């Protein structure tokens, strides 16, 4: 699969493109630094690593849920695994400022954040968003240009905007102290310097977040997909979950959340684990990963960039 991505500098019209399958190098991460950050965020660590592995956590969580369904006894362990992946797979992996500074310091000037996340540890895909001053303390904005015939219908665009508004409300509501205000905007032209350009289509199929969106997607699913635009990875095991879809396990997942743990290998209370479960929400570490980048040196994509 290939994908093009767009970058604009300072609101101008600079456009660059690159193949998502071009040769790229996984960023280097400091395991001890990531473990320190995870611990400061309340995650459970052991030395320079997480206290428990993903496979251990699946077994422990299933055993716990037989006695106490939905118990959060291992949430701190799941958080460590997710933080480690999100930071280590980031093109800004070497940047791990203290969480207390990241989560409490307001934004004093607008900045565009742009980098790459090695999606599921393999496929480098761009993330991009703006950090802006806000009365609440920090503003985060993502602008998505919708394209294609459906995007010419103002009612359809308005319906997508309504869902994006609800997605932004979810991200705002779960932010630390509600001090981070999210705005997700549907655009139909490039005059507002959109961060992404996606084709709007009919149906309910799942496609890469930076290629196309279905008008049938729920607001909650959009909150998950925009999470990728903010540079957050899927927390589930991509290949096992895909196989589950192929054999029709979806129906069981909808009835039994424990089956999601078994197949997904992540914490269903996290939005980046369970995109369809309405009980899932952004976690504290998600805000750290997104907001920390204002203190990071921008790392350009490690591949040739050519003008279209």
Question: Tens digit of pLDDT per residue, the chain (308 long)?
Answer: 333 334 333 333 222 222 233 335 666 778 999 999 999 999 999 999 999 999 999 999 989 988 888 889 999 999 999 999 999 999 999 999 999 999 989 999 999 999 999 887 778 899 999 999 998 889 999 999 999 999 999 999 999 999 999 999 999 999 999 999 999 999 999 999 999 999 999 987 778 899 999 999 999 999 999 999 999 999 987 655 565 555 555 655 566 667 777 777 889 899 999 887 778 999 999 999 999 999 987 554 443 333 32
Residues 6+ apart with CB under 8 A from 254: none
pLDDT number for residue 65: 86
Q: Is residue 6 part of a domain?
A: no
pLDDT number for residue 56: 94
pTM, rounded to two decimals: 0.86
pLDDT number for residue 274: 86
Q: Is residue 22 part of a domain?
A: no
Structural contact between residues 33 and 96, judged by C-beta atoms closer than 8 angstroms = yes
pLDDT number for residue 244: 52
Using CA atoms, how far apart are residues 190 and 213, in angstroms rounded to an integer? Answer: 17
Using CA atoms, how far apart are residues 266 and 245, in angstroms rounded to an integer? Answer: 16
Measured between alpha carbons, how far is residue 81 from residues 55, 70, 232, 301 in Å? 11, 19, 13, 25
pLDDT number for residue 123: 84
Q: Return the SS3 of 113.
A: strand
CA-wise closest residue to 204 among 253, 276, 263, 155: 276
Q: CA quadruple 65, 67, 71, 73: dihedral positive or negative?
A: negative
Q: Is residue 124 part of a domain?
A: yes
Q: How many domains does the structure of the chain reveal?
A: 1
Q: Other C-beta atoms within 10 Å of 165: how many?
A: 15
User: What is the 8-class DSSP label of residue 132?
Assistant: E
Residues 6+ apart with CB under 8 A from 268: 257, 260, 261, 274, 277, 279, 280
Residues 6+ apart with CB under 8 A from 43: 50, 76, 77, 79, 80, 83, 285
Q: Is residue 20 part of a domain?
A: no
pLDDT number for residue 26: 61
pLDDT number for residue 12: 32
CA-wise closest residue to 301 among 14, 9, 24, 83: 24
Q: Is residue 122 part of a domain?
A: yes
Structural contact between residues 296 and 92, judged by C-beta atoms closer than 8 angstroms = yes
Domain interval for residue 168: 31-295
Residues 6+ apart with CB under 8 A from 31: 48, 49, 84, 88
CA-wise closest residue to 285 among 77, 134, 115, 26: 77
Write down the H helix ranges in 105-249: 154-173, 219-229, 238-246
Encoded tokens for 272: 């980046």
Q: Is residue 66 part of a domain?
A: yes
Q: Is residue 208 part of a domain?
A: yes
pLDDT number for residue 53: 93
List beta partners, residue 269. Answer: none
Encoded tokens for 286: 């998600």
Using CA atoms, how far apart are residues 60 and 73, in angstroms rounded to an integer? Answer: 9
Q: Is residue 179 part of a domain?
A: yes
Using CA atoms, how far apart are residues 102 and 80, in angstroms rounded to an integer? Answer: 18
């Amino acid at each position: 699969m290939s994908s093009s991505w767009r970058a604009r500098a300072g609101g101008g019209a600079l456009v660059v493109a690159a193949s998502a399958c071009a040769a790229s190098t996984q960023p280097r991460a400091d395991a001890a630094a990531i473990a320190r950050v995870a611990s400061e965020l309340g995650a459970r660590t052991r030395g320079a690593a997480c206290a428990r592995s993903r496979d251990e956590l699946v077994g422990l969580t299933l055993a716990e849920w037989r006695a106490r369904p939905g118990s959060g006894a291992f949430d701190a362990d799941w958080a460590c695994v997710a933080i480690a992946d999100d930071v280590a797979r980031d093109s800004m992996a070497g940047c791990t400022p203290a969480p207390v500074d990241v989560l409490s310091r307001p934004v004093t000037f607008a900045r565009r954040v742009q980098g790459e996340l090695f999606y599921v540890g393999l496929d480098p895909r761009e993330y991009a968003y703006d950090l802006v001053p806000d009365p609440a303390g920090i503003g985060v904005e993502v602008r998505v240009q919708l394209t294609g015939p459906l995007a010419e219908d103002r009612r359809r665009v308005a319906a997508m905007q309504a869902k994006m508004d609800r997605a932004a409300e979810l991200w705002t509501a779960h932010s630390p102290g509600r001090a981070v205000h999210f705005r997700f905007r549907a655009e139909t032209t490039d005059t507002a310097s959109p961060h992404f350009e996606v084709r709007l289509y009919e149906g309910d199929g799942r496609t890469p977040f930076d290629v196309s969106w279905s008008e049938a997607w729920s607001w909650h699913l959009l909150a998950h997909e925009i999470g990728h635009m903010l540079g957050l990875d899927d927390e589930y095991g991509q290949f096992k979950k895909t196989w589950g879809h192929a054999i029709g396990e979806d129906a069981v997942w909808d009835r039994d959340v424990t089956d999601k743990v078994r197949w997904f290998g992540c914490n269903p209370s996290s939005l980046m684990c369970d995109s369809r479960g309405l009980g899932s929400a952004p976690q504290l570490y998600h805000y750290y990963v997104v907001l920390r980048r204002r203190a990071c040196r921008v790392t350009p994509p490690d591949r040739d960039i050519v003008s279209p």
